[in-house]
Amino acid sequence: MLIFGGSGKSSVGLDIGSHSVKVVELLRSGKGIKLSKYAIVELLPDTVVDGEVINRDHLVESIKDALTKSGIKTKTVNSAVSGRSVIVRRIPMEKMTEAQARQAIHWEAEQHIPFRVDEVSIDFKILNEESSPGQMEVLLVAAKKEVINLHRSVVQGAGIRSSSVDLEQFALLRAYENSYHPSADECVTILNVGSDNTNLVITKGGVPSFNRDIAMGGARFIEAILRTLSVDYSTAESILKGDLPEGVSEADVKSAVSSVLEELSTSVRRSFISFQASGESSRIDKMLLSGGCSLMAGLAETLSEHHGLPVERFDVLGDIELDGSLVADEAAMHSVEAVIAVAVGLALKSLEPGSLDIDILPVEEKTRKTRKTSAAASPVLSILSWAPLGLIVVGVIVLFIHYTGLTKTRNQLDEEISQKNTEISSMQQQVSRQQDLDALEAQLTEKRAAVNALSLEQKSTVYILEYLVRALYPEQAEFAEESGKSIYLTELSLGDSNLHISGIARTWGDIVAFQTRLEETMPDGVNQLFILTDFGQNYNVAPVVDAGGGETRYQFSTDIGVNQTSLEPLVGDYAGI
């Protein structure tokens, strides 16, 4: 925070979105507040996707550009996070003091958040000191330390520091409270339509009653406009901001985005049903629209028709005065207001403490801030009591030099810790991706084995018979040739793991040669297909004289084991795997 002219305190709010970076400086001016400086810098596509920073270097440079463009000179800002890693719950607790609740909140949090307590940073606010006899209602806020550390590292990369980390929905509530001064029973919905995400906050009397992040925003509307109206991207963005080009009517825009708008409206309706089911209020008085997409032609009217309540532009600045250098036409300022709502709410945090001041910086960082602001005067007082004035001066100088050195070392260590935390978070993401790949590979191996087994079951009979024929007639080119056969089969039966054959051979040697060829049959080059020893051979040999009374032949029968493992390489090749 900066001091101007000895009495004008300033506060800076930094809002990092998926489409742009917004920075705002508010200045205390007498009894009022003035918007003295601001800047909006658009990001390259895919810099931030689903809340995850993809192009960190570009994001850091964009924050620096926003500060330079606005002329804001500061070392600290109020910033915010949102998304699936942030949890907000209204929970009951046994009635106790705030100090006692701070000691007990971690035990209570274990019952209400889906993360391990040591993985999150926690803050809370007592909403109702006596919601029922012996009970109080508490707003519990938790965010994963990994997300906060990544957020802080990006801010620090731009040469500044987050003095507090808030939630985007609470920043919107703070801006609403400052502009509208709501009554205790007034129930209002704030819909902040961003590029990729939409914040929905329902507040009653300035206190959050319900909040939800809807995973859709302006990017979906732009896709629909590009697809339907056949305009370029720049024109589609202008249409989204309410600037209709020649030949495009408001009806054309409503028709182009109707399906996306219906999807958004359905998500809003479900949120209203969940809120009203809680029993806190049966009515919602009106809806306020903010965000870069809130000026789209027909958006307010359509939402009003769908939900049967007044829908109007969120007057973010309200009583906030504009610096003379920022005076612009009303339409232009409305466009700016729609985008800077979160940043204004963050900047208000240091100027107008509200009913809901949450800071989800990790405890160790809050402790470090407290140490910096506390004065260590007790050693000096001791010296003043017992030492001459000259010794006091020397002692103070030595202590100051030592303290300065320790502070510098501690800051360096904090920066190194922050960098290591960032590296650890990145490594954890890589490990998680590798585990997913390993799981997919295991599934593929299992399916491959199943395909092999099925293919083996379907084709093994063909291969067994083929190799049996090769053993019977190793030199015969065509099965139709009947002359010259030394051995042939008269009976064959094939089971799962055994083969029974009967046949007639010219000589006993032909039977032995046939057995030898069977034992040498190895389709995979390693394992025998036919196993004769395991089952024991049972040759029933009987001379048979042909009908002409000429040559004597030998009738035989035998059982042969079948090792289908030797066929697996052939089945795998034919299966194409």
Does 432 score more than 80 pLDDT? yes
Does 271 score more than 50 pLDDT? yes
Counting DSSP H helices and E strands in the chain, the numbers are 16, 22
Q: What is the pLDDT of residue 156?
A: 94
Is 499 strand, coil or helix?
A: strand
CB atoms within 10 A of CB 195: 22
Does 479 score more than 50 pLDDT? no
- For the domain 461-575, what is the CATH code? 3.30.70
Q: What is the pLDDT of residue 576?
A: 40
Q: Which of 194-203, 350-359, 530-539 has the highest mean pLDDT?
A: 194-203
Percent of the chain whose predicted confidence (pLDDT) is above 70: 86
Placement of tokens 């007592």 in the chain: 126
Q: What angle do CA 54, 58, 64 make, to 5 degrees?
A: 135
Separation between Cα atoms, residue 225 and residue 254, nearest integer Å = 10
Is 314 strand, coil or helix?
A: coil
Residue 64 class from Cβ within 10 Å (0-12 exposed, 13-18 middle, 19+ buried)? middle
Does 429 or 68 have the greater pLDDT score? Answer: 68
Does 574 score more than 60 pLDDT? no
Residue 541 pLDDT class (50, 70, 90 cuts): low
Q: What is the pLDDT of residue 157?
A: 94
Nearest C-alpha neighbor of 487 from the set 523, 517, 531? 517
Separation between Cα atoms, residue 462 and residue 248, nearest integer Å = 70
Q: What is the pLDDT of residues 160-172, one digit of tens each?
A: 999 999 999 999 9
Rounded to the nearest angstrom, the gap between the alpha carbon of residue 181 and the centroid of all alpha carbons in its chain is 36
Nearest C-alpha neighbor of 238 from the set 297, 315, 160, 308? 297
Sign of the dihedral through C-alpha 152, 158, 159, 164: negative
B/e letters for 557-572, b = 16+ CB within 10 Å, e = fewer, are: bbbbbbbbebbbebbe
* DSSP code for 244: P
Residue 257 to residues 36, 235, 248, 261, 263: CA-CA distances in angstroms? 37, 15, 13, 6, 10
Residue 354 pLDDT class (50, 70, 90 cuts): low
Does 237 score more than 70 pLDDT? yes
Q: What is the pLDDT of residues 8-22, one digit of tens each?
A: 589 999 999 888 999
Q: What is the pLDDT of residue 277?
A: 87
Assign residue 95 a region (left: φ > 0; alpha: ψ between -120 and 50; beta: otherwise): beta
Q: Which one-letter amino acid corresponds to residue 373?
A: T
Q: What is the pLDDT of residue 303?
A: 93
Q: What is the pLDDT of residues 274-329, one digit of tens each?
A: 988 887 777 899 999 998 888 887 889 989 999 999 999 999 998 898 887 776 67
Separation between Cα atoms, residue 371 and residue 380, nearest integer Å = 17
Q: Which of 21-35, 383-397, 400-414, 481-495 has the highest mean pLDDT?
A: 21-35
Residue 171 to residues 257, 366, 433, 460, 552: CA-CA distances in angstroms? 29, 20, 34, 70, 106
Is 366 strand, coil or helix?
A: helix
User: Hey, where are the domains in the chain?
Assistant: 3-373, 378-446, 461-575
Q: What is the pLDDT of residue 365?
A: 64
Does 385 score more than 70 pLDDT? no
3-state secondary structure 207-232: EEEEEEEECCCHHHHHHHHHHHHCCC
The CATH class for the domain spanning 3-373 reads alpha beta
124-134 mean pLDDT:
89
Does 338 or 450 have the greater pLDDT score? Answer: 338
Is 59 strand, coil or helix?
A: helix
Separation between Cα atoms, residue 280 and residue 7, nearest integer Å = 43
Least confident interval from 281-290, 304-313, 482-491, 510-519? 482-491
Does 411 or 449 have the greater pLDDT score? Answer: 411
pTM exceeds 0.75 for this model: no
Does 205 or 121 have the greater pLDDT score? Answer: 121
Helix (H), strand (E) at residue 542: strand 542-545
